[in-house]
Structure 1
């Protein structure tokens, strides 16, 4: 399962070993115990990946082979690829821009996507430190 966490100033992607159902159940129980409202709805989430990352072509093949109904890859420009995922959005209902997006697809595609996202973050940190 992939979990994308959106905060006011950042975004984080994680690959979790829990099933989507297990994670949602735990999240609902937590919200009930602490008295937090929970808004849950089908949704999409998008983010960018640099096209020059090693493995992008392999990700494209995996998506075509296994997960075309869940993930769409679109070329933005010469430098970036937009990744759009279908899944579920969870928030407290107060601020729709802050929350958690979860989705599930083949383990292989989840692994590649998580790996590429982590590499993109590491590259961005290096470029930022050089400036």
Structure 2
């Protein structure tokens, strides 16, 4: 499972081995027990990565093996590629700017996306640019 954590400064990506359903059930139980509202909504999330990160061809190939619209990988601005995921938005309300987006893809695809993001983050720290 991929987990994108959106906050006021950008987002953070995590790769979790916990099944999506178990993670959602746990999150729901915490919200109920703590008397906090929780919104679960099918949604999409996207982020950009520099096209200089290796293995784009492999991600493009893997994206075609996923279910339709689960993952789109497209060039966007010059020098960048957009990764768009279909999944579930988890937040206090549907319009919340901070929250969590979770998506389930094949293990290999999730791992590759996570590694590409980690590489891009490392490159951004070295160059002084930050993607989030």
TM-score (norm 1): 0.93
* Cα distance in structure 2, aligned partners of 1:40 and 1:121: 28
Q: RMSD across aligned C-alpha pairs, in angstroms?
A: 1.5
Alpha-carbon distance in structure 2 between the residues aligned to 1:55 and 1:81? 12
User: What's the counterpart of residue 59 of structure 1?
Assistant: 59
How many residues align? The count is 129
How far off its partner does 1:95 sit? Answer: 5.2
Residue in 2 that maps onto 1:126: 126
Q: Distance in 2 between matches of 1:10 and 1:26?
A: 25
Over 3 Å counting, the alpha-carbon distance change for 1:76 and 1:94 in structure 2 is closer
Gaps of 5+ in 2: none
Structure 1's unaligned 5+ residue stretches are: none
More helix by share: 1
- TM-score for both structures, normalised by structure 2: 0.92
In structure 1, the partner of 2:37 is 37
Q: Is the 8 A contact 2:39 2:94 kept in 1?
A: no
